[in-house]
Structure 1
């Protein structure tokens, strides 16, 4: 069960923010840079998403609807149910972060990777993760405003303007300019990936610096963190079980069930951190802590599940039903193009 190196970078950034938090003019500069980084991140998200691939993926609408329902309906219901654990197991700020965790969209990269390892429907995982990220730009802020109330800015005009300007407008700009910048982004995918991660580290540093200056970390004890981890483990176990056996009840085949399980049970750190910065402001540090912990937990658990799924026996194919060489080539081409 590997530890994601990026999680170590995030934890290191938290440590730097704890020892050397940005104050005064430095805090203003960091806040401005963080705002610009968030806008640039969502511009890249928009420029990377192929409109044609997204439209082609709509053909498998039952699978995508199932993943979206898991991400934006079942997950939030579990988050609301956890309200009964306050204040016995969770503090109110930690619960707010846990509830926000249940509202963010699914991952893209890790869903694809684990689906591929487990020999599932990779094209479906690509489209499901992309649709979830796209929907999350609108759905996550609306759910946060409705369920978190004043802690996430509510339905005030200022919060709506922030969401539109920092998240939606850059994303739409990326989609509109994809025709001209898509090739550049594809050619420099690796370098821009580092830019993505550096931008998120800046967002984390700014958020945790504000938390340190305001002294909110005195509210968190080791016992409360242990309680948070236990609750998150239960949430993850419930979602992994529900997505797998629910897929069977809905009569999806094995490959589709694998895509549903990995795309419908995870949450995106890359999308959630910038959104939390916009929605929570100075309280973002506690809001993103549950998401950071859940992200590492889901990677470790899903890595084990994917390897076990890969060892599952494949159904036997009779000679009459076996595809011809030409049809195998066509299927392989369709898979690569998807």
Structure 2
């Protein structure tokens, strides 16, 4: 059963269920307006909780092990975007989904799964917490900036889909709630720590609502008449190729920098992951409702692929603690 849970992430199954529900019973008219209001509220709540969870110690400790953290951030926000720009040459994929592949590469790293896989692989868990947290913190600002910089010219002009009110949305729905949550941490930090499981369900519930809202709008606009099975398969293959390139790059970079085995594990897992939890609300703020669904499809595909591959790698590394496993990869 545990192997099944690793292969089929329960949360991803719920996301797929939301896509299916939106496909057969999309929110329309006044219903779509109400769902949209709750989805926007979910985005605000998500980033408020993200701010409340991040401790000051994690921020200040980010200055330590600078070589490892810079390598991880460079992979996340430099190598990945370059790969994303290269995928824009694949004309067999619709323009909006090519934009989705590029958007995928501009996202920050995951937090929970990066730390979990580092722990399974017997890597430096403390460094993974700092790297993943810093990636998400910077991603709130860097991802929208990279979208504005790169998606205006890529994917056949798909960047023009970004609304003029995007800056206001970033400030009011992302940055301000995050800052308020972090400033409120001295008063609510204990509650957040004691109720992680409950708040995790709130996080996931908000993301599910955002996905339902996004795909409802896309289905109403004829999403499934524009995407073929072959195009979905091609996106999955491209996602596998992107992940393989980054895993090989982070392995080589770890050796080049002379990182310890434990830190090399952090670089590989934090540097190769992309955050669905952060990507969904950011897409909801940056793009019009009808464009969010197609743009999120590559993100959802990559999310499942990275979980499957990294779960296998983590078990492999963890089973050979103290060996030269990373050098043999």
Task: Please indicate the TM-score interval, normalised by the length of the shorter structure.
Answer: over 0.9
- Whole-Å Cα distance in 2 between the matches of residues 2 and 278 of structure 1? 30
| Contact residue 153 and residue 279 of structure 1 kept, 8 A | no
TM-score, normalising length from structure 2?
0.92
Conserved 8 A contact 1:104-1:140: yes
Match of 1:218 among 202, 222, 225: 225
Asked whether the 8 Å contact 2:121–2:315 carries over to 1, the reply is yes
Among 293, 301, 309, the alignment partner of 2:301 is 293
State which of 281, 303, 322 in structure 2 corresponds to 1:314: 322
Q: Which residue of structure 1 aligns with residue 110 of structure 2?
A: 107
> Per-residue displacement from partner, 1:99-128 (whole Å, max 9, x unpaired)?
000001000111111111111111010000
Q: Does 1:41 pair with 2:49?
A: no
* SS at 1:266 equivalent: coil
1:266 aligned onto 2:266: no
Conserved? CA contact 1:79–1:98, under 8 Å? yes
Distance 1:272 1:248, change over 3 A: same
Q: Could you say which residue in structure 2 is the equivalent of 1:173?
A: 180
Contact 1:105-1:136 at 8 Å conserved across structures? yes
Distance 2:104 2:190 in 1: 33
Q: Is 1:140 aligned to residue 143 of structure 2?
A: yes
- TM superposition outliers: structure 1 runs of 4+ over 6 Å: none
Partner of residue 201 from structure 1, selected from 196, 203, 208: 208
Partner of 1:324: none
Deviates more, 1:287-296 or 1:275-284: 275-284
Greater CA drift, 156-165 or 132-141: 156-165
Query: What CA distance in whole angstroms lies between the structure 1 residues aligned with 2:323 and 2:233?
Result: 42
What is the Cα deviation at residue 263 of structure 1? Answer: 0.1
Task: Say which SS state the counterpart of residue 85 (structure 1) adopts.
Answer: coil
String of CA shifts for 1:71-120, please: whole Å, max 9, x gaps.
Answer: 0000000000111111xx32211110000000010001111111111111
Matched, 1:11 2:32: no
Q: CA deviation at 1:153?
A: 5.6
Kept after mapping to 1: 8 A contact 2:52/2:178: yes
CA RMSD, 1 decimal: 1.5
Aligned partner of 1:62 among 60, 64, 67: 67
Q: Distance in 1 between matches of 2:49 and 2:70?
A: 25
**1:107-156 deviations in Å (ceiling 9; x for gaps):** 01111111111111110100000000000000001111111126446787
Q: 1:281, 1:104 → 2: CA distance?
A: 18
- Summarize deviations over 1:207-253 as a string: whole Å, max 9, x none: 00000111132111001111111111110000011011111111111
In 2, Cα distance between equivalents of 1:154 and 1:240: 32
TM superposition score normalised by structure 1? 0.90
Q: Deviations over 1:262-303 (max 9, x none)?
A: 000000010001111111122000000000000000000001
- Taking the aligned partners of 1:91 and 1:151, their CA distance within structure 2 comes to 11
Question: C-alpha separation between the residues in 1 aligned to 2:64 and 2:208?
Answer: 37
Who wins on radius of gyration, i.e. which is larger?
1
State the Cα distance separating 1:189 from its structure 2 match. 1.1
Residues 32-61 of structure 1, C-alpha deviations (whole Å, 9 max, x = no match): 110010001000000000012221232111
State yes or no: 1:279 paired with 2:282: no
Query: Does 1:122 find its partner at 2:125?
Result: yes
Contact kept in structure 1, 2:144 and 2:286, CA below 8 Å: yes
